[in-house]
Amino acid sequence: MKKILIINGPNLNLLGKREPTIYGNQTFEEYFDTLQTQFAEVELHYFQSNHEGALVDKIHEIGFTFQGIVINAGAYTHTSIALADALSAVTTPAIEVHISNVHAREAFRHHSYLSSRVKGVIVGLGLRGYELAVRALLEMSIVNSP
């Protein structure tokens, strides 16, 4: 079975409570349950951390064996060369997701250190972006063969 890991960075553990007008009312755990039902043919895993190094460690841990990564690095998107280097270091292809339209927000959210290291970016489509990213990884055959 193909293994895809969804990685959420800092403050995304508060989805559902955090600025609901921007990020919606649903917790990621609830959403993840529906994703797992939708993609029964895939082993979907989920990892969230507020710590940059823990996110780097996780990418190293699965980045040579899993077939795809969907990453929303939260604010580390705009600051982390370490996460960008981790995505370059591994062989598993990744797609970057942002729930909100970062380009319609503050200027500091317009630059991503990760975008040049991933296959594609999905921005501003809410939680649906994660589903589209998994679908793209599968349909475009950009996942590594198991």
3-state SS class at 48: strand
Residue with smallest beta-carbon separation from ligand DQA: 74
Which of residues 77, 83, 90, 114 is near ligand DQA by CB under 6 A? 77
Which of residues 82, 109, 119, 126 is near ligand DQA by CB under 6 A? 109
Nearest Cα neighbor of 122 from 105, 137, 106, 107 is: 137
Q: Going by C-beta distance under 8 Å and a sequence separation of 6 or more, which residues neighbour residue 106? A: none
Nearer to ligand DQA, 9 or 67 (CB): 9
Asked if 23 is an active-site residue, the reply is yes
Nearest Cα neighbor of 3 from 68, 56, 63, 94 is: 68
Taking CB under 6 A as the binding criterion, the range among 25-33, 68-76, 86-94, 137-145 that sits at the site for ligand DQA is 68-76
CA–CA gap between residue 74 and residue 29 (Å, rounded): 17
Asked if 113 is an active-site residue, the reply is no
Which of residues 48, 49, 67, 72 is near ligand DQA by CB under 6 A? 72
Nearer to ligand DQA, 23 or 66 (CB): 23
Q: How far is the CB of 131 from ligand DQA (least distance, A)?
A: 14
Sheet holding 68-72, edge to edge: 42-48, 2-8, 68-72, 94-98, 120-123
Report the relative pairing of strands 94-98 and 120-123 from DSSP bridges. Answer: parallel
Q: How far is the CB of 113 from ligand DQA (least distance, A)?
A: 12
Q: Which residues are catalytic?
A: 23, 98
Footprint on this chain of ligand DQA (rule: CB under 6 A):
11, 72, 74-75, 77, 98-100, 102, 109
